[in-house]
Structure 1
Amino acid sequence: MARMLEGFYRGLLYLAALFMVLTLVTILLGVAGRQFGFDIPGLDAYAGYSIAGALFLALPAALRSGDHIRVTLLFNKLTGTPKKIAEYWCLSVASAMTVYLAYYAIRLAWVSYTTHDVSPAADATPLWIPQLTMAVGSIGLAIAFLEDLARKVFDHERILVPSAEMARVE
């Protein structure tokens, strides 16, 4: 199961990288259009969709690698039972919040799909398409937090607080 989830997170990360490349391409097309006198309607909107897609799809992999911002000042001072309680509390709250986010991201995309909502920009893109990346990334993040919580509960502990090496980089 862990191997399958790691593959899922890696796949989302590869999609995020693809969206970063698409962001670069759309920006370069916009620059070229200004230089050579042609216009592609909605190009700015597509760059925005690509950036949002890259951000949300990279969230689970960022959590897995310890790249999310964490408050380590308190955790480094805690030991024993208070530290375990704080870790359970943080993982439980983060899991609940990300499940809530994923639910409403899915709901947003579904409502946009069923109401045929389109972008008000010149591209008139159906909004459910870019919102889908937000929903998938949110689902991935919720799964990653739930996995961390399950590992903590079943003593297959994954470190919540980054190591000293990682903390030094922050």
Structure 2
Amino acid sequence: MTFLRRFLDFLYLASGVLAALCLISILSLIVAQMLARWIGEIFPGAPSYAGYAMAAASFFAFANALNRGAHIRVSVLLNAVPPGPKKLLEIWCFALAAGIAWYFTYYAYWFVYWSWKFKEVSQGQDATHLWIPQSVMVLGGGLLAIALTDNLINVLFKGEHRISRDIVDQAHGE
């Protein structure tokens, strides 16, 4: 079980690193586009690529952000509830969120499949095959679904989730 735990933690960390790399690529694309304008050249498709990288950064960051406590949670309600009902409420929340994430991932997969099947391309100058940037939805959604299911299983069997509190929150004593 420790191998699986280490693998999942690595997967969540790797998704966060990928999200950071996507943000760096957005910066690089913006700088490249600025340089191209200064020398009188055109960088076709740069806004589209930056948009794809922004979507990728968002979807790759979901699982990592969840486990680091960066998602908005209803902590006020959870802290006001006694321990017995609190566990039931957390189980219900994680089960609902995991179900929605798996539902999204399933339909995102078919969305990407049909984009690939019909050879859809973007309408911009870049004419990118749309299944490529859309596949990030499946990967990021799947990682979030895995992370939510992981937390659900932890609440069910260990009684607590794996979401760590943000360091800023701990410094303020909240």
Provide the TM-score with structure 2 as the length reference: 0.90
Match runs of 1:136-155 below 5 Å: 136-155=139-158
CA shift, 1:157, in A, is 2.3
* Higher mean C-alpha displacement, 113-122 vs 150-159: 150-159
1:19, 1:163 → 2: CA distance? 23
Match runs of 1:129-168 below 5 Å: 129-155=132-158, 157-158=160-161, 162=165, 166=169, 168=172
2:164, 2:80 → 1: CA distance? 12
What corresponds to 1:16 in structure 2? 19
CA shift, 1:169, in A, is 9.2
* Count of aligned pairs between the two proteins: 170
CA shift, 1:123, in A, is 0.5
What corresponds to 1:49 in structure 2? 52
Q: Specify every segment of 5 or more residues in structure 2 that has no aligned partner in the other structure, as ranges.
A: none
Match runs of 1:78-117 below 5 Å: 78-117=81-120
**What whole-Å deviation, never above 9, does each CA across 1:9-55 have from its counterpart, x for those lacking one?**
11112211211111111111111122221101111000000111011
Note closer, same or farther for the CA distance 1:79–1:132 as it changes in structure 2 (3 Å cut).
same
* Higher mean C-alpha displacement, 159-168 vs 64-73: 159-168
The amino acid of 1:69's aligned partner reads I
* Higher mean C-alpha displacement, 118-127 vs 159-168: 159-168
Q: Does 1:76 align with 2:76?
A: no
The amino acid of 1:41's aligned partner reads P
Q: Are the equivalent residues in 1 in contact too, given 2:66–2:163 (CA < 8 A)? A: no
2:131, 2:158 → 1: CA distance? 39
Q: Are the equivalent residues in 1 in contact too, given 2:66–2:147 (CA < 8 A)? A: yes
* Higher mean C-alpha displacement, 156-165 vs 56-65: 156-165
SS in structure 1 opposite 2:129? coil
Q: Does 1:128 align with 2:131?
A: yes
Q: What is the aligned-residue RMSD (CA, Å)?
A: 2.1
Q: Does 1:33 align with 2:36?
A: yes
Structure 1 runs of 4+ with >4 Å offset:
159-165, 167-170
What corresponds to 1:67 in structure 2? 70
Provide the TM-score with structure 1 as the length reference: 0.92
Q: Are the equivalent residues in 2 in contact too, given 1:72–1:161 (CA < 8 A)? A: no
Matched residues, percent identical?
36
CA shift, 1:165, in A, is 5.9
Q: Specify every segment of 5 or more residues in structure 1 that has no aligned partner in the other structure, as ranges.
A: none
**What whole-Å deviation, never above 9, does each CA across 1:75-101 have from its counterpart, x for those lacking one?**
111112221221111011101011111
CA shift, 1:159, in A, is 5.2
